[in-house]
Structure 1
Amino acid sequence: MRILLVNISHPAIGSRIPKEQLPPLGLLSIGGPLIDDGHDVTLIDGELGPMSEPALLGAIFAHAPEAVLFGHSGSSSAQPIISRISESVSRLLPEVPIVYGGVHPSYFWREILADEPYVRAIVRGEGEETARQLMRAIATGSPLDALRGVAFRRNGQPVANPAAPVIADLDAYRIGWELIDHARYSYWGGKRAVVIQFSRGCPHPCTYCGQRGFWTRWRHRDPVRLAAEIGRLHRNHGVEVFNFADENPSAGRKPWRAFLEALIAENVQVTLVGSTRADDIVRDADFLHLYKQAGFERFLLGMENTDEATLKLIRKGGATSSDREAIRLLRRHNILSMATWVSGFEEETLASLWRGLRQLIAYDPDQIQALYVTPHRWTPYYRLAAGRRIVQPDLGRWDYKHQVLAMARLRPWQLFACVKLIEAAAQLRPRALRRWLWNPEKRIRHAIRWYYRMGRRVWLHEILQFLFHDRAGEDGRTLADLLGDTQDHEEEASAAPARRVRVG
């Protein structure tokens, strides 16, 4: 079959502002197995440019596909755009089956299949094996009733087969790197870049996380094989930057150390950036020099908040003391730290926001990323927030960069202004500016200065968007009024094996 993988243009994501894009790893992960099955697979990446919707539709039509698969990068915020483009594709190519895959459709399959008659099927959970079986069934005209991990219509009604088993061996399916032109993707200040994964899932029980249940449990790739893949991408395609998409790549201390040692043995000079938990940095204090030697230049530390009571509410499992220690340890090895700080978990006031800023500055991270809590219906946090009023009914802006939940004592413009001031105060404090002016390592100087250039553009863009484009305000509805009952009983998107997996 001629299969077209489509990555939509996503205007809500502020990272487009620096004119640098990373390739869509999810679609490439689907593309590799489909190519190996003999399909003619092409990727259209609407983020490059970015492409306008008419241009994207023209490219889809010109390709004359026999199936169109939409990947769901951006989760809920991508759904309105994908729905709009899919409807247009169905008018242009009425006989071509359309398939969705990703986090949001894995849980909202009932609503999508009921409201979007042009969608043939939805892949729920991990897609490498399920997409192979689904495309095989569509090509042969076989019924979908026996395909685990697929939602479709039976007699006009949305139904879902049992969940597909979790992929135990992440190296069993290859990434379709041949689907992209590496020269078109860059990050970290114009350096050729890709997204990669060492692991999937996270063993920690944070109640607001929209990814934990999608991956079901933590697993990792073979450390040596991943290191060799990074080496090949660097030598054969000139890739310099590897952005880890893992929620928690260092959850397993032994396999993580084995990966670092294997990558060091590859003897390639690359830049690694990723996210992890502060607890893991503190745990690995005895071999953080391997992090540095392997190429890590920055870690995003998922702190979420500086208030112990809030961390307990969301079952973060960390502590403010370990957060501070992790930042200190990373600085000792000249690895940049980016701290996430999320507003909206509970009712906030000007006083609590001021206290949060002071605590954040006391942590002394190199960079911060201020976000808003985005409540996903399939998470336990949704139960806590279901009765709260909403200020943003447009799912296209549910991207962690727009306020969703109303505050009892702060209007949307007041919270927005406070968040922007917190970002500016944290990044323009004297200590941060001294690091911007000078660092003993050229690569780190480049990283710091690139981030300030990018951050300035994103910061100004978001202010203009809020003033002239965003529409935030209450209409009396609660979160439950908009999205319905909680779905946390269906949080596990894949069927996990009964045995427990050790990550220590």
Structure 2
Amino acid sequence: MRIVIVNIPHPAIGSRIPKEQLPPLGLLCIGGPLIDDGHDVQLVDGEFGPMTIDALTDAVVARAPDAVLFGHSGSSSAQPIISRVAAAVAGRLPSAKIVYGGVHPTYFWREILAAEPHVHAIVRGEGEETARRLMRAFERGEALDAIPGIAFRRDGEVVGTPPAPVIIDLDAYRIGWELIDHRRYSYWGGKRAVVIQFSRGCPHLCNYCGQRGFWTRWRHRDPVRLAREIAHLHREHGVEVFNFADENPSAGRKPWRAFLEALIAEDVSVTLVGSTRADDIVRDADILHLYKRAGFERFLLGMENTDEATLKLIRKGGATTTDREAIRLLRQHGILSMVTWVAGFDDQTDVDLWRGLKQLVSYDADQIQALYVTPHRWTPFYRLAADRPVVQADKTKWDYKHQVLGMQRMPPWRLFLWVKLIEAVAQLRPRALLRWVWHPDPKIRHAIRWYYRMGRRVWVHEVLSFLFRDRHARDGLTVADHLGDAQDHEEEALRVVRRGSPAAPRAVTAGARTAG
């Protein structure tokens, strides 16, 4: 089959402003197995430009595909754009099979298939094996009922098959690096870059996380094989920066250390950036020198808030003392720290935000990323937010960088001013500016200055968007009115197959309550 995989131009502000694009790892993970199955696979990346809807549609149609696969990058904000492009492609290529995959469609399959008749199937959960089986069935004209992990229409009725098994061996399916021109992708200030993944899943129980249940259990790639792949991409394709997509790559100390040592043994000069928990940094205080030698220059630490009561509400499982120690340890080893801080909790006041600003400054992190609390229907946190009013109805702005939930004691304009003030004060405090002026490590100095350039553009863009483009209105509707009933009973998208497991459940219809 001739297959086109589409990466739509994502609406997130951070994707638009830096003028640097990272390749869509999730789509490449699907592309590799499909190529190995003998399909003619091409990637159309709408992020370049970014492409307009019409231009992206023309590019897909020009390739005359038998199937068009759309993948989400984990955010529901992509869905409206994907829907528009898919409908336009289907209108011009009525015989092509249209398929969605990713986190959002995994849980919104009923609504998507009911509202978009041009969509033939939804891939729910991990897609490498499921996409292979689905394309094989389309090619042979076979029924779809026997394929686990999909949703489709049968005789006009929307049905979902049982969840697909978890992919235990993450090295069983290769990444389709040949789908991209490495020269077009950059990050970290114009350096050739890719996204890589050591693990999937997370062992922690934060109740707001939209990714935890999707990946189900924590698994990791073979440490040595991943180190060899990074070295190969560096030597053969000139890739300098590797951005880890993992939620928590260091969750397992033993395999993580094995990866660090294997990459050090490859003796390549690369830049690694990723996310992890402050707890893991403190746990690994004795091996942080290996982090540095392997090439890590920055870690994003998902701290979410500096208020202990809020951390307890979202079941973060962290502590402010651990957060401070993690930042100190990273700096001691010459690794930058970026902390995320989430605003917009229902009962936050000016006093709470002032206290949060003072605590963030006292943390002395190198970089701050302020976000807005955004509910996902399939998470336990959704039940806490379901009755809150919505102040941003445009789903493309449900991207963590726009306030979507109304607050009891604060209008949107005041929260926005607080968030912009927190970002500005945190980044312009004297200690931070001194590091911007001079840092003894030239690679870290480059990273600091690049982030300030990018952050300045994003900050100004967000202010102008809030003043002249974004529209905040209370229409009287709640989160539940916009998104529907809580779905946390379906949070786990995949199925762990164990020896002696009972038979898989039957397929379910759109009107049934599933066990996920």
TM-score bin, normalised by smaller chain: over 0.9
Match of 2:404 in 1: 404
TM alignment of 1:46-65, pairs within 5 A: 46-65=46-65
Match of 2:430 in 1: 430
Q: State the secondary structure of the residue aligned to 1:145.
A: coil
1:465 maps to 2:465: yes
Match of 2:291 in 1: 291
Q: Show CA shifts across 1:247-295 (max 9, x none).
A: 0000000000000000000000000000000000000000000000000
Question: Are the equivalent residues in 1 in contact too, given 2:74–2:211 (CA < 8 A)?
Answer: no
Question: Are the equivalent residues in 2 in contact too, given 1:14–1:462 (CA < 8 A)?
Answer: no
1:465 positional shift: 1.1
1:141 maps to 2:141: yes
TM alignment of 1:24-423, pairs within 5 A: 24-423=24-423
Q: Show CA shifts across 1:90-109 (max 9, x none).
A: 11001111000000000000
Q: Show CA shifts across 1:172-231 (max 9, x none).
A: 000000000000000000000000000001000000000001101100000000000000
Whichever residue aligns with residue 24 of structure 2, its letter is P
Whichever residue aligns with residue 359 of structure 2, its letter is Q
CA distance in structure 1 between the partners assigned to 2:236 and 2:472 by the alignment: 48
Question: Are the equivalent residues in 2 in contact too, given 1:31–1:175 (CA < 8 A)?
Answer: yes
1:345 positional shift: 2.9
Q: Show CA shifts across 1:385-425 (max 9, x none).
A: 11111101111111000101101111111111110110000
1:497 positional shift: 3.2
Of 149-158 and 112-121, the range deviating more from structure 2: 149-158
CA distance in structure 2 between the partners assigned to 1:143 and 1:303 by the alignment: 46
Q: Show CA shifts across 1:138-163 (max 9, x none).
A: 00110001100010011111110000
CA distance in structure 1 between the partners assigned to 2:75 and 2:138 by the alignment: 25
CA distance in structure 2 between the partners assigned to 1:348 and 1:473 by the alignment: 20
Whichever residue aligns with residue 361 of structure 1, its letter is V
Q: State the secondary structure of the residue aligned to 2:173.
A: coil
Whichever residue aligns with residue 145 of structure 2, its letter is D
CA distance in structure 1 between the partners assigned to 2:210 and 2:203 by the alignment: 14
Task: Give the TM-score taking structure 1 as reference length.
Answer: 0.98
Question: Are the equivalent residues in 2 in contact too, given 1:216–1:493 (CA < 8 A)?
Answer: yes
Question: Are the equivalent residues in 2 in contact too, given 1:28–1:175 (CA < 8 A)?
Answer: yes
Q: State the secondary structure of the residue aligned to 2:207.
A: coil
Question: Are the equivalent residues in 2 in contact too, given 1:74–1:399 (CA < 8 A)?
Answer: no
Question: Are the equivalent residues in 1 in contact too, given 2:11–2:397 (CA < 8 A)?
Answer: no
CA distance in structure 2 between the partners assigned to 1:467 and 1:58 by the alignment: 34
- What is the Cα-based RMSD across aligned positions, in Å? 0.8
Runs of 5+ consecutive residues of structure 2 not aligned to the other structure: 500-516
Q: State the secondary structure of the residue aligned to 1:410.
A: coil
1:481 positional shift: 1.1
Question: Are the equivalent residues in 2 in contact too, given 1:202–1:217 (CA < 8 A)?
Answer: yes
Whichever residue aligns with residue 160 of structure 1, its letter is G
1:13 positional shift: 3.4
CA distance in structure 2 between the partners assigned to 1:233 and 1:434 by the alignment: 35
Q: Show CA shifts across 1:421-458 (max 9, x none).
A: 10000000001001101111000000000000000000
Whichever residue aligns with residue 478 of structure 2, its letter is T
Task: Give the TM-score taking structure 2 as reference length.
Answer: 0.96
CA distance in structure 1 between the partners assigned to 2:448 and 2:315 by the alignment: 32
Q: State the secondary structure of the residue aligned to 2:38.
A: coil
1:484 positional shift: 1.2
Question: Are the equivalent residues in 2 in contact too, given 1:98–1:118 (CA < 8 A)?
Answer: yes
Question: Are the equivalent residues in 1 in contact too, given 2:13–2:462 (CA < 8 A)?
Answer: no
Match of 1:502 in 2: none
Question: Are the equivalent residues in 2 in contact too, given 1:246–1:274 (CA < 8 A)?
Answer: yes
CA distance in structure 2 between the partners assigned to 1:18 and 1:372 by the alignment: 21
Question: Are the equivalent residues in 1 in contact too, given 2:72–2:78 (CA < 8 A)?
Answer: yes
Q: State the secondary structure of the residue aligned to 1:174.
A: coil
Question: Are the equivalent residues in 2 in contact too, given 1:207–1:381 (CA < 8 A)?
Answer: yes
Q: State the secondary structure of the residue aligned to 2:120.
A: strand
CA distance in structure 2 between the partners assigned to 1:190 and 1:7 by the alignment: 21
CA distance in structure 2 between the partners assigned to 1:481 and 1:54 by the alignment: 32
CA distance in structure 2 between the partners assigned to 1:253 and 1:497 by the alignment: 25
1:358 positional shift: 0.4
Q: State the secondary structure of the residue aligned to 1:147.
A: coil
CA distance in structure 1 between the partners assigned to 2:96 and 2:167 by the alignment: 29
1:16 positional shift: 2.4
1:15 positional shift: 3.2
Question: Are the equivalent residues in 2 in contact too, given 1:206–1:314 (CA < 8 A)?
Answer: yes
CA distance in structure 2 between the partners assigned to 1:421 and 1:15 by the alignment: 22
1:23 positional shift: 0.2
Whichever residue aligns with residue 403 of structure 2, its letter is Q
Whichever residue aligns with residue 480 of structure 1, its letter is A
Whichever residue aligns with residue 2 of structure 2, its letter is R
CA distance in structure 2 between the partners assigned to 1:296 and 1:497 by the alignment: 35
Q: State the secondary structure of the residue aligned to 1:195.
A: strand
Question: Are the equivalent residues in 1 in contact too, given 2:346–2:408 (CA < 8 A)?
Answer: no
CA distance in structure 2 between the partners assigned to 1:498 and 1:338 by the alignment: 39
TM alignment of 1:482-493, pairs within 5 A: 482-493=482-493
Q: Which runs of 4+ in 1 moved over 3 A?
A: none
Runs of 5+ consecutive residues of structure 1 not aligned to the other structure: 500-504
CA distance in structure 2 between the partners assigned to 1:364 and 1:224 by the alignment: 35
CA distance in structure 2 between the partners assigned to 1:140 and 1:313 by the alignment: 50
Question: Are the equivalent residues in 2 in contact too, given 1:412–1:473 (CA < 8 A)?
Answer: no
Question: Are the equivalent residues in 2 in contact too, given 1:310–1:346 (CA < 8 A)?
Answer: no
Q: State the secondary structure of the residue aligned to 1:426.
A: helix
Match of 2:446 in 1: 446
What percent of counterpart residues are identical?
A: 78
In the comparison of the two structures, how many residue pairs are matched? 499
Match of 2:503 in 1: none
